[in-house]
Amino acid sequence: MVRRHWLAFVLLGLLWHRLAFTGLRWQPAIRPVFRRAGQGPYPELCVFDLDACLWDKEMYEMEAIPKDSDVVLGDLRGRGEGVTGVMSGADKISLHKGAMKALQDHADGKYPGMKIAVASSADTPFAEKVGRKALSLLEVLPGLTVWQLLLRDWEGKDVNQIGRQPPLSSNKARTHFPRLKEATGVSYDRMLFFDDCLWGDHCGMVAQACRETNGRGVVTVRTPSGLGEREWDRGLAMYASAGR
Ligand SMILES: [Mg+2]
């Protein structure tokens, strides 16, 4: 009787040891799947559409070009007080939550080797001016505007493609992206692109047309509800798992 209990004790001990050991061996296999969004590899160039993607408004619908005083102060996602809104008439232009997170993390250097730019086919010269002014006023961190961050990556050079007046057009695959590649020196297969695609399938067109000779092109993410935190994480994960 005593011997049986002893045997059962040994067998349970072996089983526990086996499970614990297996559990330890499982972790390295599981972790990379969950870590992909946060661990890279990161794109060399992350490109954002503006209207209804990086921010919540369509520039062609705005009433006026904002003045320097048309700013709304608020909490910059727990990083202090700054410009969280820009007024254009009665409309307030604000960054979407995922855009704010992406830009803050980028400003903090969380994505090594990654730079950013914007590609917007703003409808009219007026819409373009409203957009440029909003970029120069909205803040990512206290004292750091979106525009300053966009220039910081390129040592002050403006690589951004905003508008649809020549040499730009309404087709980002034909004009904005080739120009971005030229200005930045980053190949298409090292780019990640976010666009709401509500007025045209910019993502589909860019993914189709902007490819390298190896067949790989821009990784694209549609953000029909704006760039949320989930879309941002999904984009990073999609790029990381694309095996570049
Ligand atoms: Mg848009």
Cα-to-centroid distance, 178 and ligand 1 (Å): 19
- Burial (CB < 10 A; 0-12, 13-18, 19+), residue 88, is buried
What's the pLDDT score for residue 21? 42
Provide φ and ψ at 223, rounded to 5°.
Answer: -130, 65
pTM, to two decimals? 0.85
pLDDT of residue 16: 55
pLDDT digit string, tens, across residues 6-40: 656 655 555 555 444 444 444 334 444 444 556 88
What pLDDT shows up at residue 152? 97
Quote the ligand 1 centre to 184 CA distance (angstroms).
Answer: 22
For residue 15, how far is its CA from the centre of ligand 1 (angstroms)? Answer: 57
Q: Considering the chain, what is the average pLDDT of its residues?
A: 90
Q: Count Cβ atoms below 10 Å from residue 116 Cβ, excluding itself.
A: 23
Centre of ligand 1 to C-alpha 194, Å, is 9
Cα 130 to averaged position of ligand 1 atoms, centre (Å): 14
* Confidence grade of residue 170 (pLDDT, cut at 50, 70, 90): very high
Neighbouring C-alpha atoms within 13 Å toward the C-beta of 63? 8
- Find the 18 Cα to ligand 1 centroid distance in Å: 54
Q: Are 46 and 221 in contact (CB under 8 A)?
A: no
Scanning the structure block, which residue is given the tokens 């102060």?
Answer: 73
CA 4 to ligand 1 center in whole angstroms: 73
CB neighbours of 124 closer than 8 A, spacing ≥ 6? 60
Q: What are the pLDDT digits (tens) for 118-135?
A: 999 999 999 999 999 999
Ligand 1 center from residue 51 Cα (angstroms): 4
Residue 222 has pLDDT above 80, yes or no: yes
Indicate the burial class of 71 (C-beta count within 10 angstroms; 0-12, 13-18, 19 or more). Answer: middle
Q: Ligand 1 centroid to 19 CA: how many Å?
A: 51
Q: How confident is the model over 152-162, as a mean pLDDT?
A: 97
- Are 86 and 95 a contacting pair, CB within 8 Å? no
Task: Return phi, psi of residue 225, to 5°.
Answer: -105, 20
Q: Express each pLDDT in 136-145 by its tens digit.
A: 999 999 999 9
The model's pLDDT over 29-85, given as tens digits with 9 standing for 90+, comes to 444 444 455 688 999 999 999 999 999 999 999 999 999 999 999 999 999 999 999
Contact call for residues 119 and 172 (beta carbons, < 8 A) = yes
What confidence score (pLDDT) does residue 243 get?
A: 73
Neighbours of 1 (CB within 10 A): 5
Query: Are 88 and 62 in contact, with CB atoms under 8 Å apart?
Result: yes
Residues 6 or more apart from 177 whose CB is under 8 A from it? 47, 119, 188, 191, 193, 206, 209, 210, 218
What are the C-alpha distances in Å from 66 to residues 123, 132, 138, 144, 239?
17, 10, 11, 18, 36
Full set of structural domains in the chain with CATH: 43-241 (3.40.50.1000)
